[in-house]
């Protein structure tokens, strides 16, 4: 698919992947899909090095985990991890699972150290890939955050994987606990100014940082308060939903936690709350404007028990001053009887001059604002529940 300008929105859903394409005006859209129909697509993301390279996490409770790759913008796909000449299909005609390509390094954490497994012989269990993060400088390097929480890297275009076991080898590993969605590593942020620095978030353990290329890690949860854990200010145990940064200012981080919206001005060494005048500080997504590091977006939900917009009104909230105060953005969004959820990977921005903001809902709508949040339109409706939204800017 030629990169002639415009945007490509990559949408992962409960029952397949969809690719939505538009020109720079972002008013009319072409819809391609479903790709991998019937499969859960937890995440799909394009390479910042080559806009035609896309990685996909494809998962099924019956057939396991599959990683797909496209080298032509989603026109065709190649199932990764197969031996030369090997069929990608089972005898039933379904893609073969690839869970063995993500084997944990069991030396990093003693067997039996996790109490919630009730004496299981294998306390660390691979279930799925939650997040794929292509490298900023190499089209064939991509990171994967998985459940149970671990970090993997591939340096051959997702064909083979190795665990960056320093993370699970960190001394707090036995204290990590699964959140409601599992014990997942769901966020990976790469520092564009320092290749050796990376941030990750785990539900429910917290946020971690490496400054030596993933050999060692430290928790960065000072200032977090979680009243539902035994020690509300513990080093780990916090349910972080999402992290965000602006590439021009990578030491300033934003966090949406299970409760609380927070900011760090020192690379995660300490955090302070910026929930301010939000109607609720519970939610999953948080994003930063492509060109203004002080403009931040969240979508509040009523509570952890009632995961839908307060008052049934779908409102995106924007702060133009780094979280000091927030304004509701409603133009074009449903303001009555709206009870959808917006999941942690389901919001993204493009890089066009007039920055576009995108998000998807569990009701199957994908919304776009081509003017930084002032006006919204539904790109598409009635998709399966949206799990992730990412954007490639084509120029």
Please tell me the predicted confidence (pLDDT) of residue 119: 37
285-327 residue pLDDT tens: 999 999 999 999 999 999 999 999 999 999 999 999 999 999 9
pLDDT in tens, 368-391: 999 999 999 999 999 999 999 999
pLDDT number for residue 108: 57
Q: 71 Cβ partners below 8 Å, 6+ apart?
A: 50, 52, 53, 78
- Predicted confidence at residue 86, as pLDDT, reads 78
- Predicted pLDDT at 123: 62
- Cβ-based neighbours of 205, under 8 Å, separated by 6 or more: 149, 172, 175, 176, 177, 183, 236, 237, 238, 240
pLDDT of the residue at 60: 87
The whole-number pLDDT of residue 147 equals 93
Give pLDDT, residue 255: 98
Q: Per the confidence metrics, is the pTM higher than 0.85?
A: yes
Q: Are 134 and 53 in contact (CB under 8 A)?
A: yes
Query: Do 245 and 254 form a contact (C-beta atoms < 8 A)?
Result: yes
8 A C-beta contact, residue 362 and residue 342 = yes
Q: What is the mean pLDDT of each run of 10 residues along the chain (395 residues)?
A: 73 98 96 95 97 95 90 95 76 74 68 38 76 97 95 95 91 83 94 97 96 96 93 94 97 97 98 97 97 98 96 98 97 98 98 97 98 97 97 92
Domains of the chain (ranges; CATH) run 6-80+95-394 (2.130.10.10)
């Amino acid at each position: 698919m030629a990169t002639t300008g415009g945007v490509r929105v990559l949408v992962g859903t409960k029952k397949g992947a969809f690719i939505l394409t538009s020109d720079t005006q972002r008013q009319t859209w072409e819809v391609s899909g479903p790709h991998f129909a019937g499969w859960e697509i937890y995440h799909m993301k394009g390479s910042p090095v080559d806009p035609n390279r896309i990685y996909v996490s494809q998962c099924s409770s019956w057939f396991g985990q599959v990683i797909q790759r496209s080298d032509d913008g989603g026109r065709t796909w190649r199932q990764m991890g197969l031996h030369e000449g090997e069929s990608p299909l089972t005898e039933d005609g379904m893609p073969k699972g690839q869970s063995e390509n993500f084997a944990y390094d069991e030396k990093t954490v003693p067997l039996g150290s996790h109490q919630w497994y009730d004496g299981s012989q294998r306390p660390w269990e691979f279930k799925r890939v939650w997040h794929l993060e292509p490298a900023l400088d190499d089209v064939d390097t991509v990171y994967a955050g998985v459940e149970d929480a671990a970090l993997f890297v591939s340096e051959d275009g997702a064909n083979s994987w190795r665990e960056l076991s320093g993370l699970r080898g960190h001394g707090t590993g036995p204290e990590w606990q699964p959140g409601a969605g599992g014990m997942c590593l769901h966020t990976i942020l790469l520092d564009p100014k320092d290749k050796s620095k990376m941030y990750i978030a785990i539900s429910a353990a917290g946020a971690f940082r490496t400054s030596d290329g993933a050999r060692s890690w430290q928790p960065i949860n000072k200032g977090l308060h979680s009243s539902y854990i035994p020690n509300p200010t513990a080093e780990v145990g916090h349910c972080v939903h999402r992290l965000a940064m602006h590439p021009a200012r990578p030491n300033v981080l934003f966090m949406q936690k299970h409760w609380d919206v927070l900011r760090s001005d020192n690379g995660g060494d300490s955090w302070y709350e910026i929930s301010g005048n939000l109607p609720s500080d519970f939610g999953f997504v948080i994003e930063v404007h492509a060109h203004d590091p002080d403009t931040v977006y969240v979508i509040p939900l009523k509570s952890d028990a009632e995961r839908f917009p307060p008052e049934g009104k779908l409102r995106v909230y924007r702060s133009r001053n780094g979280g000091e105060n927030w304004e509701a953005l409603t133009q074009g969004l449903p303001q009555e009887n709206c009870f959808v959820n917006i999941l942690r990977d389901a919001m993204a921005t493009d890089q066009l001059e007039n920055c576009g903001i995108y998000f998807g809902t569990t009701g199957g709508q994908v919304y776009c604002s081509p003017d930084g949040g002032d006006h919204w339109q539904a790109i598409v409706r009635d998709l399966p529940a949206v799990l992730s939204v990412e954007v490639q800017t084509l120029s």
